[in-house]
Amino acid sequence: MGGRLNSLTDVLKKTLFFFESLSVTELTPYVHRKMLKDYSLLQVEDKVNLCLSQHPCFYREKDIWHLNLEGQRENDQFYSLLLKRGQPLNLRDLLKNGNTKKRKSKKILAEEVLLISDGRFIQLDNGYWGLTEWEVEASHYSLKHLVIKAMKMHPGGLSTQQLYEIVNTWRTTGIKIIEGVLLKFPYFEQVGEGVWSYNPNVQLIYEDLLKKFIGLIGRQKLRWRRDRSRWRARIESMQQNLQEAMAGQEEVAAALAEKMELAGQHDYMLSQMAEKDLLLSLRKREIMRYREHLKKLESKSDSILYQCRLWVARAREAEENVAKIKNLLVKNQNNLEGLFTKLQQYKEKDRENKARLVELKEQHTIKVAELQTEIVELKQKIERKRASMAMEERRMLEEINDLSNALKKALKVEEEQQRAYLMVQQELAAAKDGYRVLERQVRSPLIRLIIKLSSYFRGYSKRSD
């Protein structure tokens, strides 16, 4: 049968015809593989559930969906026509065919809406209609569901060799692979030595537990991600506060050191200025003393001159005294000139000291600027080193968190596997007890006779078919 399936309804018809009964969760991966690949599994499951509930050709029994192959009476003639032809047909081609009359063709052909809601028909993407029972591609289905189909066909149980022969007709596989599938899932029960059977109730319980387990894992992942984001935000805020505190401490220490250095320089300059002021005050006192002495000498000379005028007789003595006084005046003038020269020298030294003080201030400002530039460069280097160290620390913390989370996940998975193993052991013990009860019941000759008669009639019905 050439061509692909046209719609989601046709894919569901084909899958349910092959497997006879499946749940929505089992139908979802096959639909996702055939179509709706851009959707997520939850979205595909919603679409499948909606399609199954809309069309009357599907019916449900305890969350298990089946395909209704009885069909509608309006489509029986088209069904018989497709069986005779053995290949897909197009409704429009049949209407345009000149060999058949229009009225007969209208009676034979039903509306496409009725064909869509009929479980016996499927539509291809080229507009042709075919039968659901034609050529089922079993290779697209999983090995687990092929084994379930084989066991549903033989409810009494099958051996691994018989399963291999039946499944191999649908899909090439191996005996060890089939044994692995039988041992993997708990709803495949070993009835006797090498004989396996299928328990649908255990499958429903297993799928419910699996859904709950997956939901718990998803919720745990969300909690873990929220906690990790919250702790990361806290660590980043604490690191920023620590960096700001360290930078503030360094700035305060640098400012204190600079303040202490400037205070020392200021005290040194004040001490030098105090010494110079003291020397100048001493020199001023000496000059005032000399001035007072000159005034006294002048008064004495005036008195001597006055006495000379008064006493003519004492002229010679007065002249000698005057000569002495003149000599003293000359000496005093010389001393005064020396003092004036010294005072000028001190003034020049004072000017030189002021110039040196200005130069020292300029040098101080230059050194302060150089030190500030060096401090800025050192701060930048320290910030770069801190950034690199912070990045390395973050990377190491992320690796530690990832490893710890992986370890937690592994421990949780191991605990849950142990719990599941204990539950399976308990269910297996209960199943063995039920099997022993059934064996005791089957040992009676009346029940054995009934089983033989039922197997004989079942074989007879198969031969007649």
Residue 109's pLDDT is 47
The pLDDT of residue 107 is: 45
Angle at 206 between CA 165 and CA 198, to 5 degrees: 30
Integer Cα distance of 248 and 246 in angstroms: 5
> What is the value of pTM for the model shown?
0.38
Predicted local confidence at residue 102, as pLDDT = 47
The two structure tokens encoding residue 167: 């499944």
**Mapping DSSP to helix (H, G, I), strand (E, B) and coil, where does residue 169 land?**
helix
- β-bridge partners, 58: 67
Per-residue pLDDT of the chain (465 residues; tens, 9 = 90+): 545 666 777 777 777 777 777 777 777 777 777 777 777 778 878 888 888 888 788 888 777 788 777 777 777 777 778 778 777 777 777 666 654 444 444 444 446 777 777 777 777 767 777 777 675 665 566 677 777 777 776 767 777 777 777 777 776 777 787 777 777 777 777 777 777 777 767 766 777 787 788 778 878 888 888 888 888 888 888 888 888 888 878 888 888 888 888 888 888 888 888 888 788 888 888 888 888 888 888 888 777 778 767 877 777 787 888 888 888 888 888 888 888 888 888 888 888 888 888 888 888 888 888 888 888 888 888 888 888 888 888 888 888 888 888 888 888 888 888 888 888 888 888 888 887 887 777 777 777 777 777 777 776 666 665
144 and 181 in contact (C-beta within 8 Å)? Answer: yes
Q: What is the Cα–Cα distance from 452 to 61, expressed in whole angstroms?
A: 31
Closest by CA to 275, choosing from 345, 353, 362, is: 353
Contact 110, 103 (CB under 8 A): no
pLDDT at 5: 65
Q: Which candidate, 33, 2, 1, places its Cα nearest to that of 15?
A: 33
Q: How far apart are CA 178 and CA 195, in angstroms?
A: 13
- Compute the C-alpha angle 79/80/83, nearest 5°: 90
| Crossing angle (nearest 10°) for helices 143-153 and 175-184 | 90
Query: What does the DSSP assignment read for 86-117?
Result: -S-B-HHHHHH-SSS-HHHHHHHSPPHHHHHT
| Strand ranges across the sheet with 58-61 | 21-22, 64-67, 58-61
The predicted structure's pLDDT at residue 416: 87
